[in-house]
Each structure stands twice: as C-alpha cells, then as structure tokens.
Chain A
Amino acid sequence: DARVTQTPRHKVTEMGQEVTMRCQPILGHNTVFWYRQTMMQGLELLAYFRNRAPLDDSGMPKDRFSAEMPDATLATLKIQPSEPRDSAVYFCASGYANTEAFFGQGTRLTVV
C-alpha cells in the first residue's frame, strides 16, 4: 500500500532550535509539495518540487525556512531558528505532474 511517509509525526521544540521534517514520497511520483496548515491561514503552500527541482517556494519565509530534495526518495523541510509562530501541522504531498496529490499524515510542530 503506497503512501507518503512523514517523520516525525509530532515535534515539540524550544524557540531558536533547528527543526528538520522529512518526507518520503510515493515511489515514482515526480512532484512533491510542502504545505503548512494553521487555523488562521488554512493550507499554505510552502514549496513545490518537480523532478527534484524547486519550482515554487514563494510561500516560504526564506530567512528561516529551507526545502530540499537530496534524492528522489527524500524531501526535507528545515526551520532554523524556529519561532512560536511556526507552530502548525506541516504536510508533505506527492503526485505526478497535473494529477492529484497524495498527502502524508503530517508533522505537528509545537515551538515553545
């Protein structure tokens, strides 16, 4: 049963610490998305990759966030330094170009 795998599922960290979230897309999918979900802002697109190349990261705060795909089986989202306002659920999703995306279960991040 193919699925997108995100780790960790939950993360509590102190303000100022680095946070790394990982995503294993479904094998063969060539597009990867990172979304952040909060009550106030809903689902915000942070980054979009196709064939491992970043195509859109305009929604990501560049000073503290970075997203990479070191290989086709791993996507990472890093926050350094983390702030309380970064507390949210972070979703990774993968798919083929121009079709539906399948979501991971999300990482619930709490920055205290």
Chain B
Amino acid sequence: AQKITQTQPGMFVQEKEAVTLDCTYDTSDPSYGLFWYKQPSSGEMIFLIYQGSYDQQNATEGRYSLNFQKARKSANLVISASQLGDSAMYFCAMREVDNDMRFGAGTRLTVKP
C-alpha cells in the first residue's frame, strides 16, 4: 500500500529565502509518480510539480524544484526566493502505475515579511 509522510506540520521562512518541505514515501512498485500541490487559504488545490520514478533529473518549475532521492524514497519540494503569496498548505502525493493518488498530511508554510 502507498504511504506518504510529511513530518513538518508547519514551517516558517523569511521572504526571499529558500525553503525545503520534506516528503518521504513507501512503495514496492518500481514505477510511480510524485506530485506536489499547493492549497492557499482560498481552498483550491493547485498542482505544482511532477517527478517520475524513472526520471534521471530533478523536476523544476519556475521557483519550484523537487529534490528526488530515489534510494532514500524522498521527494522534497524546494521553493526558492519565497514570496508572501507562497504562504499555504503544501501536499505531497504519490501515484503508482495504473493506481490512485494518495496524499500526505500536508505542511503549512508561512512566509514572514
């Protein structure tokens, strides 16, 4: 069974600094996808970034990058140059091939001015 763990209930970061949100996962399937979503206070779920288990390079999307360490089964999200608008809940998710998508408990990020 899929299991996704986010150990940081809350994180603080100073505006313009970088922050890393942790995510570890557990699967016996060699083929899977890892995802990060952002949920601002408005409640919508916004897809940020995707990493496939066979991808050789870490995924990047603008200020977001995914630090993928396959052997350690970790998929940490790095946000560079934090902005006030980055304050939100962040969810890590995993999807095994032909399977559903499961989410971690989330990390609440607060960006301080």
Contacts and interface: CB of A to CB of B under 8 A. Distances in A.
B100 A56 contact: yes
Interface string A18-43: 00000000000000010100000011
B101 A33 contact: yes
A45 B33 contact: no
B47 A101 contact: yes
Contacts of B50: 99-100
Interface residues of B, number: 21
B31 to A, nearest CB: 8
Given A42-B105, A97-B98, A102 B43 contact: no
Nearest to A35: B103
A8 to B, nearest CB: 14
A103 B106 contact: no
Interface string B31-54: 001010100000111110010000
Interface of B: 33, 35, 37, 43-47, 50, 91, 95, 97-106
A35 B99 CA distance: 15
Given A98-B33, A98-B95, A100-B35, A45 B44 contact: no
Contact of B97 (A89, A93, A98): A98
What 8 A-B pairs are tightest by C-beta distance, nearest first? A103-B45, A48-B100, A43-B103, A100-B47, A42-B105, A56-B100, A100-B50, A100-B35
A105 interface: yes
A45 B102 contact: yes
Interface in A74-112: 89, 91, 93, 97-103, 105-106, 108
A108 B43 CA distance: 10
